Amino acid sequence: MLLDSSTSQLVLIDYQVKLMPVIFENEFILDNAKMLSKLAKKMRIPVFGTEQLPEKLGSLDPELASYCRSVLVKSSFSACPEGLIDILTAVPVSTNARSLPKHLKKEEPQNERTSIVLAGVEAHVCLLQTALDLLDNELEVWVVTDACSSRTERNRDAAFDRLAGAGAELVTTEMIMFEWLQSADNEHFKFALDMIK
Write the DSSP assignment of 43-74 as a string of letters. Answer: TT--EEEEEESHHHH--B-HHHHHH-SEEEEE
Residue 96 lies in a domain: no
Residue 104 lies in a domain: no
Range of the domain at 26: 5-90+110-196
Residue 157 lies in a domain: yes
pLDDT digits (tens, 9 = 90+) for 158-195: 999 999 999 999 999 999 999 999 999 999 999 999 99
pLDDT digits (tens, 9 = 90+) for 71-122: 999 999 999 999 999 999 874 443 444 455 555 544 444 568 899 999 999 9
* Domain CATH for 77: 3.40.50.850
Across residues 42-64, what is the average pLDDT? 97
Cis check: omega of the bond before 122, within 30 degrees of 0: yes
Look at the chain and report how many structural domains it folds into.
1
Residue 47 lies in a domain: yes
Residue 69 lies in a domain: yes
Residue 37 lies in a domain: yes
Distance CA 57, CA 125 (A): 15
Say if residues 68 and 56 touch (Cβ distance below 8 Å). Answer: no
Residue 121 lies in a domain: yes
